[in-house]
Structure 1
Amino acid sequence: MKTRFPILVFLLIFRCILGWATTLDFPSGQEIRVTGYPDNMYQDISKCIIKIDRFLFSSEEICAKYRDTEIRATGTLDKPLIDSFVGNLWLTSAEIEIDEKTQKLKNSKTQNGDMLNNFRESLVSVYKKYVPEPEAGLVSGVVLGYKKDIGQELYRQMIKSGSIHIAVASGYNILLVGGVVLSLSFWFVRRSVAVWIALVAMILYGLLA
């Protein structure tokens, strides 16, 4: 125990020095272009934070737009935004371009190889057919967690009003589906079978959402 603490302190200091050293090759104010698939993404209020390699940048679009898509980002390094501890570099005012080839490939994969995504797309097309926009996108988000068609303006308004949580399929939705299926199954099969049917329905809905 006594030797473990100094080792942890040494590793922490070494990690900090290593992260700081990796940022020395990129002076503040330098224009950087980075290309690749996002290593990590998360939604920060109205912005999507994207990480490719050691570079991080933000976009006003929703993160779903860039998922499984190769992108090119060009931005400027800003010294105060450099994270020396882990060696991350922030690009300010980044201009983001989507590689059209990978976008077409992504669409073709969805059309040809993924039955689950195809089924979800067919359900979304039903909403679009009978419900006007932007309500159709909102219904798709609430029921299936499909956020691509919500629209930027409506998305920002929901963030400002604090109601963005209703546009995402949550655990409550899964429990609701399971409860409805369980109640209906009781009319036709034994209780033990109904429980299994409800569990399968919840799993399938979770995969769709």
Structure 2
Amino acid sequence: MSPTLLDQPLGSLACEIPGATRVFHAFHLDFCCGGHKSLREAAALRGIEPEMVAAELDSLQARGGTQLDWRTEPSTRLIEHILKRYHARHREQLPELIRLACRVEQVHGDRADCPNGLADLLRDMQQELESHMLKEEQILFPMLLSGYARQASAPISVMRFEHDHHGLALEQMEALTHGLTPPEDACNTWRALYRGLNELHDDLMQHIHLENNVLFVADQA
């Protein structure tokens, strides 16, 4: 095992090692909002042996593989990817998830394991995400694309702050849904809801990671 892995930031490891984000998801390590923390620090905060995570990452490195390193791509291409892959996708995901959550709460609301309050949480997330994405689309991204990255420190700070709130919302979502795991006797609607929530969770974390640990870093360098 490479000891240097333990002292590298999660955000850097997520960029450098193909499949690292999958490992971080499995260990519930926050590589987006918490991407500045070292593997050693982040694992300790979770009560996990950091060597266990490093061993998984070492195994990935030994197997090889490739992934696009967005740090070497121009900001124009990364912004286009964020808009198409994440902004557009979130706008598709949340209305359907809200509909499914309302249905599950309506039908199964008397069960102790029903995620009561999830639909309201998702509505709040939808409103906050839409406001956040509009600020990026109308203010921050045009500044970066026009070559005003040096003047963008204030809006970038706002976006990072809002990313932290998105991260807290994901934690609330996990708490309400027992770690995004449906009960064994869950109906098809309940299972479809949790599959969609897992996708939203992973997409939003990757979205925040690409902004916090790649786009904002590059443009403030």
Please, what TM-score do these two structures have when normalized by structure 2?
Answer: 0.26
Identify the structure with the greater strand proportion.
1
Identify the structure with the greater helix proportion.
2
Please, what TM-score do these two structures have when normalized by structure 1?
Answer: 0.28
| Bigger CA radius of gyration | 1
